[in-house]
Structure 1
Amino acid sequence: MDSVDAAFDATPRRDFLPRGVRRRASYDGPLTIAAGQTNSQPRTVDDMLRLLDVRPGQHVLDVGAGSGWTTALLAHLVGPSGVVLGVELEPELVSFGGANLARTHRPWATIRLATPGLLGDPDGAPYDRILVSAMARSLPTALVDQLADDGVLVVPVDGTMLRVTNPGAVVTEHGRYRFVPLR
């Protein structure tokens, strides 16, 4: 079992879903959670985490934390020597995701309310890894600017999953995906 498989094993999706949806936790598709947002398809999350290539001890930003599931998965991957910050625009989801995350006992990870009009968390930059779980219309340069010198950003842009690596903001394409819009 590799590190991503171990993270999924230690972080069941069911624990990050509203009660009425938990029976569908094994469904390999997005599930509605609240505020018009979804808990992403497990296969897609797996693909994104593998592209992100998270290592123990890294400083990671999770944009669109939602239910807290991806934040918790990232926290498992970085371990207690790392730090994960999840940001979310919907106050209802900050509460829901934060409560879900707290139950994992991974205090090196937190979820906070995103600042409207400000993408990511420039004050906490640079980040070794940035995961975006919402569809951008174009490559979000504000997030590229928050990457560490050897950082990696994974973001769906206009239907295509992009992996951006530093130095040089080198962009590679990795398949077609659907997400809620990045705001």
Structure 2
Amino acid sequence: MSESIVAPGAPVKRADGANAPASDLETALCFEAGGAQCCVRLPEITRVAFLPALTPLPGAPVWLAGLLQVGPDHLPVIDLAARLGRVRRTPFSVDAPLLICQGRQRRGALILDAVSGLREVSFDPAATLPGADGRNPLFRGLAHDGALTLLMLDLDQVLSLDPAPGRRAVEAFVIAEERHAGHE
């Protein structure tokens, strides 16, 4: 893992340019998936490992890579780049980082492109997020570390097996049909 780009004790700037008070900072693991700079709060992480053999699921969405057995449990393994709607230019390899994590209600694993390390971040849940309507259910908000703006994942939404979390069924169908039509 690389070191934080913020010097120890240096103030972390919020999106509005003001210094974030130390009490507002939290430690997050920062990583890249499909070109997007993302992060997850440290307490939500179980461990980071390399991608082991997975049990494939026939007929599963493209972003659901398979199941991973961890003790008696079978966890969904999600290709985060594909889950975020990014096109993966090369297939992930067996040495791809795997983030085993736990949301408030769901547990699973995310295939990442790269891990950049731990950083102290200021979380901004009220920030306008990427998406046509200014919000995206896969993200809790934006996080700032003084130099980078990161997308803070909502793990319960990302780990949901719902193909379009936060949308009504008819919206999810229309979006899926539009995406399919664009690939023909």
Question: What TM-score do you get using the length of structure 2 for normalisation?
Answer: 0.26
Q: Which has the higher helix share?
A: 1
Larger Cα-atom Rg? 2
Relative to the length of structure 1, the TM-score reads 0.26
